[in-house]
Amino acid sequence: MIEKNKSTGIKSWPSDDRPRERLLKRGAGALSNSELLAILLRTGVAGNSAIDLARQIIEKFGTFRNMSHTDLREWKEFKGLGPAKIAQIKAALEIGRRFREDEVLPLKQKIASAGDVIGVIMPQMRDLKTEIFKVVYLNSNNRIIEISDAATGTVNQAMPIVREIIHAALQKFAAAIICVHNHPSANIAPSPEDKRFTGELHAAGKLMGIKVLDHIIIGDGNYFSFADEGLMA
């Protein structure tokens, strides 16, 4: 494609070169990351078209994944990019993440191992900057009933409440649960608090007839499973 002058707006380009028209004619797969982002931005600013602005954003963050967990301070350098456009970008990234989650979940509904859980949850948790604690609720056939957040913590710790988790399991008629939380530091070794919590939850589940099958800690692309390590007894 011929490089466009920065002072020339996209509307003045030949129709076959405009990202939106190319997407409709050839499909989204024919567009570069910058062109896809330019469609979300819609307009640029004086001296910079939407595609120019999109290229600057891609140059800074590198990938869409890197854009997912950013705050407004990291976008301030882009002239003409206000909260509304940033919200559009973040909404589109979240739609993409949920699409992937919906795509994977039906294939992994029956849980036979920690790896099955990781296949569903890793994409949504590996990049988080704050600890999030999730619970996977399973029926008697180890099929997923629901995955929900149990607690949101600081960058160092989440404080899930054993009684609330067990109560939620009873309300959902779950036969078993698997707990999952992330370590933003990427160090997947369980802390003393992780070990103590797992023991307390396992004991509470046994008392109430809810099997606590595993507690999984997620890092950046890897994980620690209490069950795999023989620590759920």
Q: 217 and 128 in one domain?
A: yes
Angle at 105 between CA 66 and CA 223, to 5 degrees: 55
Quick one: tokens of 16? 């076959």
Question: Distance of alpha carbon 63 from its chain centroid, rounded?
Answer: 14
Q: 20 and 53 in one domain?
A: yes
- So what's the pLDDT on residue 44? 77
Q: Which domain-ending residue is among 101, 134, 154?
A: 101
For 14, the domain range is 10-101
Q: 161 and 90 in one domain?
A: no
10-residue mean pLDDT profile of the chain (233 residues): values are 47 66 82 88 80 90 83 85 88 80 59 89 80 92 89 72 92 94 90 92 95 94 93 84
- So what's the pLDDT on residue 103? 56
Q: Which helix (H) or strand (E) holds 144?
A: strand 144-152
19 φ/ψ angles, rounded to the nearest 5 degrees? -55, -45
> Is 0.85 topped by the overall pTM?
no
- So what's the pLDDT on residue 167? 92
Task: State how many domains the chain has.
Answer: 2
